[in-house]
Amino acid sequence: METAAVYLDHNATAPLRPEAAAAMRAALDVAGNPSSVHGHGRRARALVEDAREAVAALAGVPPAWVVFTGSGSEANALALTGPGDGPRLCTAVEHDSVLRWVAPDGHLPVDADGVLDRGALAGALAAAPAPGLLSLMRANNETGVLQPVAEAAAVARAAGWRVHCDAVQAPGRLVPFDMGSLGVDLMTLSAHKLGGPAGVGALIVADGLTLAPLVRGGGQERGRRAGTENLIGIAGFGAAARAVLDAGADEPVRLAALRDRLETGLRACCPGAVVHGADAARLPNTTCVGHPALGADIQLMRLDLAGVSVSAGAACSSGKVASSHVLQAMGLDAAAARRAIRLSVGWSTTDSDVDRLVALWGRTLAD
């Protein structure tokens, strides 16, 4: 009998939740354009606004603050190109969709655990010729390490800066999770990280901020993102957001138990393994582990052949296994960074999934 595959790559894409799949199937039967005023259009509009309410509830904001986009990367681009034309700052461990909008001299250093250097932030704010925009991820996609967003946002906003938070990895993994507690002006979410479909994201925009749309030509999303809304994807996003809300605080506790079980097993079968960022506050679902001898490419290949899916760094770099810019910013040399893989559990992960990975780590990787 063929053994079922094990999926431990939720930070790249979480499997589609049944609730999201059901909502998307129902939306397939809706023919109207959400901008049309006839009955079919109003039915489509109702689905969009229902999903907007769910995503808003997840972020703890009014529905009018939610701007649907085609991805988390697009939402980051929309945030980083506005508001204002002042300088941009971010950490050196941000996702590429943020880093590429910020000049290299605006990449703030992090410590050995991957946490923002507060002194560097204070110095950069003081040296800036004018207030601008600070972008700080809530949790790193490779290591799970949390950034002090609320603390940094308070400092930056006191200096007149706007603050954006890439929070795509946080929903369903951090409770409480809301924009108000972070104290930021803009926040990015992505449906496929929390069990919704790929191809839809959201930028949460605080009241009073004006953004120049990246996509122009229509009045959709209150003029902030032109183009007919992805009705099916948005419906799935809303359903996934409600599933996360329904799971509440119990889910992060379950995920933390899975992660701890995983790391205990890895260290037992490979004492030389290093969990990167282990001394910092982290997401309860993420482990970035470095093997003492084997490269990530060999590890991924052997695990994949055994039916276990994991990754080496961000999925956006698929097609190559290169040294992680995140781990190198944390002080690892290129060789050590190339021996690290990421394991991320999620809503579909079971104890048996974790145990199988640990057994394969001890047996297959020792070959």
CATH of the domain at 358: 3.90.1150.10
pLDDT tens digits, 304-314: 999 999 998 65
* Cβ atoms within 10 Å, residue 348: 14
- Measure the CA–CA gap between 184 and 154, rounded to whole angstroms: 9
Q: Is residue 205 domain-shared with residue 297, that is, in the same domain?
A: no
- Both structure tokens of 357: 């990975």
- Reply yes or no on whether the pLDDT at 342 is more than 70: yes
Give the confidence band of 362 by pLDDT, cuts at 50, 70, 90: confident
Residue type, 161: W
Domain that includes residue 193, residue range: 18-247
282 has which bridge partners?
145
- For residue 17, the Cα-to-chain-centroid distance in whole angstroms is 17
Structure token pair of residue 55:
């995503």
Structural domain contains residue 91: yes
Q: What is the percent of the chain with per-residue pLDDT over 70, rounded to a whole number? A: 95
Does residue 1 lie in a domain region? no
Q: Is residue 30, in this structure, part of any structural domain at all?
A: yes
Query: What's the CA gap between 191 and 176, in Å, rounded?
Result: 18
| Number of other CB atoms surrounding residue 338 within 10 Å | 20
Q: Are residues 133 and 210 in the same domain?
A: yes
Q: What is the pLDDT of residue 85?
A: 83
Q: In whole angstroms, how far apart are CA 134 and each of 74, 81, 90, 122, 144?
A: 17, 12, 6, 12, 20
pLDDT over 70 at 322, yes or no: no
| CA atoms of 69 and 205, how far apart (whole Å) | 12
Domain boundary residue, one of 197, 219, 247: 247
> Which entry of 90, 165, 288, 316 is annotated as an active-site residue?
316
Q: What is the pLDDT of residue 363?
A: 79
pLDDT score at 260: 97
Alpha helices in 159-275 (DSSP H): 179-182, 231-247, 250-269
- Is residue 208 in a domain? yes
pLDDT of residue 315: 54
Q: Find the CATH number of the domain harbouring 24.
A: 3.40.640.10
Helices marked H in 191-249 — which ranges? 231-247
Per residue in 187-215, is it b (16+ CB within 10 Å) or e — as a string? bbbbbbbbbbbbbbbbbbbbeeeebebbe
Q: Are residues 212 and 294 in the same domain?
A: no
**Between β-strands 66-69 and 286-290, what pairing exists: parallel, antiparallel or unpaired?**
unpaired
Residue 364: pLDDT band with limits 50, 70, 90: low
How many Cα neighbours within 13 Å face the side chain of 265? 21
125 with 202, same domain: the answer is yes
Q: Is residue 279 a contact partner of residue 229, using CB atoms and an 8 Å limit? A: no
Query: 238 with 294, same domain?
Result: no
Say whether both 198 and 269 belong to one domain. no
Three-state DSSP class for residue 24: helix
Q: Do both 35 and 132 map to the same domain?
A: yes
Model pLDDT, residue 46:
97
Lowest mean pLDDT among 121-130, 233-242, 319-328, 356-365: 319-328
* Final residue of a structural domain among 204, 220, 247: 247
Active site annotation includes 316:
yes
Shared domain for 90 and 229, answered yes or no, is yes
Q: What is the CA radius of gyration of the chain?
A: 21
Q: For residue 366, what pLDDT band results from cuts at 50, 70 and 90?
A: low
Confidence class for position 1, pLDDT limits 50, 70, 90: very low
- Report DSSP state, residue 117: -
108 in the same domain as 225: yes
Nearby residues of 106 by Cβ (< 8 Å), 6 or more positions away: 87, 88, 89, 90, 124
Q: Is residue 349 part of a domain?
A: yes
Q: What percent of the chain has pLDDT over 90?
A: 87
Mean pLDDT of 288-303: 92
Answer for the pair 195, 244: CB distance below 8 angstroms, yes or no. yes
Q: Are 190 and 301 in the same domain?
A: no
Answer yes or no: is 293 within a domain: yes
- 82 occurs within a structural domain: yes
pLDDT value, residue 318:
47
Q: Quickly state the pLDDT bin for 361 (edges 50, 70, 90).
A: confident
Residue 154 lies in a domain: yes
Question: What does the pLDDT look like over 12-44, one tens digit per residue?
Answer: 999 999 999 999 999 999 999 999 999 999 999
Residue at which a domain ends, from 218, 247, 276: 247
Q: For residue 367, what pLDDT is reported?
A: 61
Q: Are residues 259 and 220 in the same domain?
A: no
Q: Tell me which of 292 and 148 has the higher pLDDT.
A: 148
Q: What pLDDT score does 323 carry?
A: 76
Q: What is the pLDDT of residues 47-85, one digit of tens each?
A: 999 999 999 999 999 999 999 999 999 999 999 998 878
Number of domains in the chain: 2
Do 202 and 54 reside in the same domain of the chain?
Answer: yes
Task: Report the mean per-residue pLDDT for the chain.
Answer: 93
